[in-house]
């Protein structure tokens, strides 16, 4: 039986004693996704997840960034979508290697959405690797 999301144990939480595990991040995402789908606001989950990420102090983001990099490489399209949104919004350069692996994987993917996701990943990589002017 899945454990209900516990904010005090989540990597997106800034409370003390947080184990910052990928499982907790997935629980948070699943909980938000379920609540927003029930409220008929499917885009609200990623907006809230990104807002929670934005409230984490920069010094405490290392573990969460590792989780997001893992999500970029996930087989789950929804998980990838959420990770790509946060990586792009917050310019997580640490995710570049995972984005390059995903880009290579998508090049040989024959599914109908693969070319569009490849283009999205390519745009994100361009944003992350372009020099700031």
- What are the residue boundaries of the structural domains of the chain, listed by start? 7-129
- Report whether pLDDT(105) > 50: yes
18 band by pLDDT with thresholds 50, 70 and 90: very low
Give the pLDDT score at 10. 52
pTM of the predicted model, to two decimals?
0.74
- Report whether pLDDT(5) > 80: no
Q: Which one, of 98, 105, 33, 32, lies nearest residue 66 by Cα?
A: 98
- Report whether pLDDT(119) > 70: yes
DSSP state of 33: H
Residue 31 burial (CB count, 10 A): 16
């Amino acid at each position: 039986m899945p454990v209900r999301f516990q904010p005090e144990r989540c990597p997106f939480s800034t409370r003390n004693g947080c184990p910052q595990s990928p499982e907790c991040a997935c629980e948070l995402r699943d909980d938000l996704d379920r609540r927003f789908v029930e409220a008929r606001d499917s885009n609200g989950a990623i907006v809230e997840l990104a807002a929670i990420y934005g409230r984490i102090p920069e010094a405490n983001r290392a573990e969460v960034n590792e989780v997001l990099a893992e999500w970029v490489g996930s087989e789950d399209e929804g998980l990838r979508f959420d990770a790509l949104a946060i990586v792009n919004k917050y310019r997580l350069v640490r995710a570049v290697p995972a984005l390059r692996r995903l880009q290579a994987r998508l090049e040989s993917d024959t599914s109908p959405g693969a070319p569009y996701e490849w283009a999205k990943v390519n745009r994100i990589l361009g944003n992350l690797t372009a020099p700031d002017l």
